[in-house]
Amino acid sequence: MNHIIKIRIITLILLGLFPFHLIAQGLISGTGTYIVPSGNIYISISNGGFTNNGNFNAASGTVGFSGTSSLATSKISGTGTTSFYDLLMNKSADGLKLERSIAVSHLLDLQAGDSLFLNGHNIDLGTTGSINGEVESRRITGLTGGYIQVTRVLNIPVAANPGNIGIAITSLSNLGTTTIKRGHQQQGGKSVYRYFDITPANNSTLAATLLFYYFQAELASVNEGNLAYFQSTNAGSTWSNLGENGIDPFGNFVTLTGVNNLSRLTLSDFSQPLYVSLLYFKARVMSTGNQLYWASATELNNEYYEIQRSFNGIDFTGIGLVATPGNSVAEKSYQYLDGDVHPGISFYRLRIADRSGKSQFSGIAMVNRNEDAKELIKTWPNPASGILNISVPVQKTNNYLISITDLAGNNIMLFNKYLSAGQNEFSVDISKLSKGTYQLSIPGLKTPAIKVMKLQ
């Protein structure tokens, strides 16, 4: 007999004088019902679901799901507002499905079983909730929609991963109250099955470092070695390729530095744009000025690019125009030199205008012309398919070893280059390298290696 505990038009008060186990194949709270745990209450639901059509007060108790029942039975549903303190999935087989949005104020604990399926609904961890026990075979997912959300105050965060949601943020700025949503729908039909919407109170000049975590099952068909950040400021309508500063296939995370504003972020193959017109937009310091360079994947009725500059990262002014052919289905590269340079930090962005009068903005690129700036290696274009241009300042005139290695540290190309004190530019042909990600370094300089992406 399938025993289901039904509670209708009554008040059930569970006193927490000691841990209490309510073991049932289903718990249904009817309209007008109050379920009010008090203290250390543990409600264990075996091979059943939790349906709340009334009122549920979680207090400091735990609602746990166990057994082997399918998602048709093992689910959370109902019309009432359902907020848990601790929600535990501890099944020996199969998982748990949402049929309504819920909140978890303390711990969402995935101890055993399959995954927790959002099924188009949301989980709000609020300002105190956290995820525990999420692993490759047992995770939160929602390919049909829904998200899990957390809110925290992030002031000068250091590798802060709010609620263990899966993205770590470091910044010397105060982001203030920050809301992060994690969803699992593929973006643009080409990304991994994970994205983040990040909304901080302060969202400018962050110079943030991000670690975007993922599971192998979320990679879709994306080559792990080609992962790069893509950003959208309009909820996924258009995307900008931000590249990456490190891929860790063992820790399953991708690093990106120098991020000045946050919005929607996902990962995809750097050579496969997410329906973007702009592949990348970057800036570098030159002796003659600040060099801007960018590339588009496709152009439809484009009229021109307006280059805009700011000294505070907020107020931008147009400084020049670059015309476009209007329509193109092939990658096109552009450059603009800002010769009217100023000491310190300058911010740049593109306003992309079409013939109908509409426009959109690129992400922000930043340069620092401080005299005490560290020696930095710059490359362009990156990704590249043939000629890779390299720019580097050195303090001493000398012969320097140039090293290109694979991600395992194996030498792929080694050659000497005579560099003069000051800014140097030279090129190297990487057309014979296999498609993938490499590291470029100059061992004689106190500067970190940088990633170089080789296209086909």
Kindly report, residue by residue over 370-393, the tens digit of the pLDDT. Answer: 644 445 788 888 888 888 988 888
Q: Do 249 and 346 belong together in one domain?
A: no
Answer yes or no: is 195 within a domain: yes
Which comes out higher in pLDDT, residue 11 or 180? 180
Q: Report whether 281 contacts 362 (CB < 8 A).
A: yes
pLDDT band at 359 (very low <50, low <70, confident <90, very high): low
Angle at 303 between CA 300 and CA 306, to 5 degrees: 120
CA gap 287, 24 in Å, rounded: 74
Q: Do 63 and 118 belong together in one domain?
A: yes
Answer yes or no: is 366 within a domain: no
Give the pLDDT of residue 237.
Answer: 77
Domain boundary residue among 305, 330, 359?
359
Give the pLDDT of residue 171.
Answer: 93
Which pair of structure tokens corresponds to residue 404? 């290109």
Mean pLDDT of the 310-325 span: 85
Q: Do 446 and 384 belong together in one domain?
A: yes
Give the pLDDT of residue 31.
Answer: 57
Q: Do 128 and 169 belong together in one domain?
A: no
Which comes out higher in pLDDT, residue 96 or 439? 96
Answer yes or no: is 43 within a domain: yes
Q: Do 131 and 9 belong together in one domain?
A: yes
Domain boundary residue among 269, 285, 312?
269
> Of 6-10, 307-311, 318-322, 343-347, which range is least confident?
6-10
Answer yes or no: is 283 within a domain: no
Q: Do 409 and 341 belong together in one domain?
A: no
Q: Do 109 and 176 belong together in one domain?
A: no
Q: Which range of residues forms the domain containing residue 307?
A: 295-359
> Of 75-89, 90-104, 216-230, 287-301, which range is least confident?
287-301
Ramachandran angles phi, psi of 390, nearest 5° = -130, 135
Q: Do 128 and 17 belong together in one domain?
A: yes
Q: Quick: pLDDT tens for 392-407.
A: 887 788 888 899 998 8
Q: Do 12 and 127 belong together in one domain?
A: yes
Answer yes or no: is 9 within a domain: yes
Answer yes or no: is 159 within a domain: yes
Which pair of structure tokens corresponds to residue 188? 């643009």
The domain total for the chain is 4
Answer yes or no: is 388 within a domain: yes
Instruction: Work out the number of other CB atoms within 10 angstroms of the CB of residue 421.
Output: 11
Q: Do 157 and 256 belong together in one domain?
A: yes
Asked whether the predicted pLDDT for residue 272 surpasses 70, the reply is no
